[in-house]
Structure 1
Amino acid sequence: MTARLDHTVRLSRPADFIAIVPYMLGFHPERSIVALAFEPDRDPGSGVRGLRVSVRFDLPEDSEDSPEMAQHVAELLTRNDIGRVLLIGYGPGWHVTPVMDAVRGTLTDSDIEVIDALRVEEGRYWSYLCPDPECCPPYGMAYDPTNNPAAAAAVFAGYVARPDRAALVATLTPAGGQDRQQVTAATRAACTQVRATLARGGGQGWYQEGLTQVDAALDTVKQGQDLPPDMVAWLGVLLTSIIVRDGALTFVGRYDDDTHIRLWTEVTCRVEPEFAAAPAALLAFVAMRTGDGPLARVAVERSLSADGDYRLARLVQLALNHGLPPEVTSGIDYAGMAEEIGAQAAQYPAGTRPVLPEGW
């Protein structure tokens, strides 16, 4: 799920809702159904603040799978106490209509009101519910998302709509070129130092060193600076300890969410791919916390590409699949968590040691 935008944007026409969706998702959807869920008893035309969440589903390849998908949509919305939605399907009629029919029927059976159901394709939209040919002609209504006040307001507020989901995935592509060479060299040097320290029986301060590096990295990013290659390398190495990784989570609230997002995005892209599981999972957690479901999902995928069993990534994935709202993380006592993790690190110092990937 993706949380509402945090700026007031007035929406009154179908074209307004269509225009705002890419900014809520972070990309222009294709072959999808998006459900815009409204606050109870709020007028859909009262503005985006009436929107509770948006959630996107890929259209099934086989229309026979439509009932199963529809049931999943209904269960997710019901679990989150959502009673009113506006549905938008993206793609040709032959692909969208069977799915839309199944979703509408299942939502109605689940006592979820469908305010409107639209199909969007190549600059036109159609309504499945409007019978008036004056406002909903059979050849569709043209709309221009680049000349829509809702889209303009979203852009003004700093939101970005990438061309498609692949463009969002590309934001976490591993860096290359000279930076990759420098980070690779720094990572090998850090791993050599770790092995030498462990061979001497030393290294009791891994946890504190990890916290120091995370704090310094957050401060660097907050100042608008890029991390030096050796800092990227050491973050990747130190975060291979689960206790250090958990310690990094306790900085939530001590720096603004945007700084956390920028840090873990940069580290995910710049660390050696074998070290990406932890920073990508941290990015997924913060993205989920801020309501950026699409970024959270691609971060989960990036984490699991490095380690298919990475537990934090799997937990975030489970939360996303069950449609848990961002508010579930608001009750976490990060200061108390920091005390507990610090005590655990002191009691089990061996658990704070880096666990280097094979070959490093």
Structure 2
Amino acid sequence: MTSPLDHTVRLSRPADFIAIVPYMLGFHPERSVVAMAFEPGEDSDSGVRSLRFSVRVDLPGQSEDTPDVARGFAELLTRNGTERVMLIGYGPGWHVTPVMDAVRGALSDAEIDTIDALRVEDGRYWSYMCLDRECCSPDGTPYDSAHNQAAAAAVFAGHVARADRAALAATIAPAGGQDREQVQVATRTVCTQVRSALATDGGHGWYQAGLTQVAAALDHIEAGRELPADMVAWLGVLLTSIIVRDGAMTFIGRYDDDTHLKLWTEVTRRVEPEFAAAPAALLAFVALRIGDGPLARLAVERSLSADPRYSLAGLVACALDHGLPPEMTCGVDCAEMADEIGAQAAKHPAATRPVLPEGW
């Protein structure tokens, strides 16, 4: 699920809806169905409605999976109180049409009104609901998103539409080259220091060390500076403690969401892959909080690739699967938990110790 853009964009023609979707998702969708959910109009005769959120699902690979996809779509929209949607399917007719028919049927059964249902392929769109051949040619209607005012407004506001989902995934993929070598060397050094300290230390001081590193990293990001390799290494190691990871979440609200997003994106990319579970899960949580469902999903996948049982990533995945609206996460005051988490750290100092992955 993805929140609407954080500024006013007027959508009136099918081409406008098509043009804005990539900027809501962060990438140009392929072989997908997207639903744009709108607030009910104050005046039933008025066409003016606010976009609440959008949701995208892959077209099923097997035709027998289509009914489940359609039901899941309708259930997610129903849980979020959706009354009106615009549907857009991406791909060839043989693949999109059966899915679109099933989704429209499921939405009708759920008493959700479909404003229009479009299929998009190779720079043309077709409407499943417009029967006027003069308006909607059987050959499709050409559109040009590059010169669309809605797309231009999104670009002006700083939104980016990457080529595809893989391009978005690349933004949090492990870094390479010289930076990878520097962080790896720094991580080896940090792990050596930590093992030495763990041999004589019962756990006191690790929690505060973690908070200090997180605060310093946030200050670096806020000032527009890249994190030094040793700071990335220390963050990766200290966040292997769940309590320290929870302590990092208490900074949400004390720095703006964009600063957190940039921090955990950078750490997820640059940290040694074995240490990526915690920063990627934190990135997933922040992305969920701001309504960036595609990034949240990718960050969950990155976290679980490092640790398939990482619970925070699993919780974010569950929220995404059930269509938890971003405002539910925004309502959690993470800063309020600081005293409680700090008390837990003081009571159980051993739980604040780093847990080094095998081989480190």
Q: Is 1:19 matched with 2:19?
A: yes
TM-score of the aligned structures, taking structure 1 as reference length:
0.98
Q: Is 1:262 matched with 2:248?
A: no
Question: Hey, what's the Cα distance between the residues in 1 that align with 2:110 and 2:202?
Answer: 61
Shift of 1:11: 0.6
Partner of 1:163: 163
Shift of 1:62: 1.6
Question: Hey, what's the Cα distance between the residues in 2 that align with 1:68 and 1:196?
Answer: 54
Call closer, same or farther: CA 1:68–1:42 in 2, change over 3 Å: farther
8 Å Cα contact 1:197-1:203 kept in structure 2: no
Deviations 1:195-217 (A, max 9, x none): 10111235410000000000000
Partner of 1:128: 128
Question: Hey, what's the Cα distance between the residues in 2 that align with 1:46 and 1:143?
Answer: 23
Q: Is 1:152 matched with 2:169?
A: no
8 Å Cα contact 2:41-2:48 kept in structure 1: no
Aligned partner of residue 33 in structure 2, secondary structure: strand
Moved more, 200-209 or 111-120: 200-209
8 Å Cα contact 2:41-2:47 kept in structure 1: no
TM-score of the aligned structures, taking structure 2 as reference length:
0.98
Partner of 1:350: 350
Instruction: Map 1:207-286; keep pairs closer than 5 Å.
Output: 207-286=207-286
Aligned partner of residue 46 in structure 1, secondary structure: coil
Partner of 2:326: 326
Partner of 2:301: 301
Aligned partner of residue 125 in structure 1, secondary structure: strand
Question: Hey, what's the Cα distance between the residues in 2 that align with 1:330 and 1:37?
Answer: 20
Partner of 1:66: 66
Deviations 1:170-214 (A, max 9, x none): 111111111111111110111111110111235410000000000
Aligned partner of residue 117 in structure 1, secondary structure: strand
Question: Hey, what's the Cα distance between the residues in 1 that align with 2:42 and 2:306?
Answer: 43
Aligned partner of residue 258 in structure 2, secondary structure: helix
Structure 2 unmatched ranges of 5 or more:
none
8 Å Cα contact 1:11-1:46 kept in structure 2: no
Aligned partner of residue 86 in structure 1, secondary structure: strand
Moved over 4 A (4+): 42-45
Aligned partner of residue 3 in structure 1, secondary structure: coil
Q: Is 1:173 matched with 2:173?
A: yes
Letter in 2 for 1:265: T
8 Å Cα contact 1:27-1:161 kept in structure 2: yes
Aligned partner of residue 111 in structure 2, secondary structure: coil
Question: Hey, what's the Cα distance between the residues in 2 that align with 1:341 and 1:161?
Answer: 38
Partner of 1:105: 105
8 Å Cα contact 2:28-2:162 kept in structure 1: yes
Q: Is 1:93 matched with 2:93?
A: yes
Shift of 1:335: 2.8
Letter in 2 for 1:267: V
Moved more, 198-207 or 174-183: 198-207
Deviations 1:15-50 (A, max 9, x none): 000000000000000000000000122689537xx1
Question: Hey, what's the Cα distance between the residues in 1 that align with 2:330 and 2:57?
Answer: 26
Instruction: Map 1:65-84; keep pairs closer than 5 Å.
Output: 65-84=65-84
Question: Hey, what's the Cα distance between the residues in 2 that align with 1:139 and 1:132?
Answer: 13
Give aligned-pair identity as a percent: 75
**Among 45, 48, 59, the residue aligned to 1:46:** 48
Letter in 2 for 1:298: L
8 Å Cα contact 1:10-1:46 kept in structure 2: no
Call closer, same or farther: CA 1:309–1:339 in 2, change over 3 Å: same
Q: Is 1:192 matched with 2:201?
A: no
Question: Hey, what's the Cα distance between the residues in 2 that align with 1:147 and 1:328?
Answer: 36
Aligned positions, number: 358
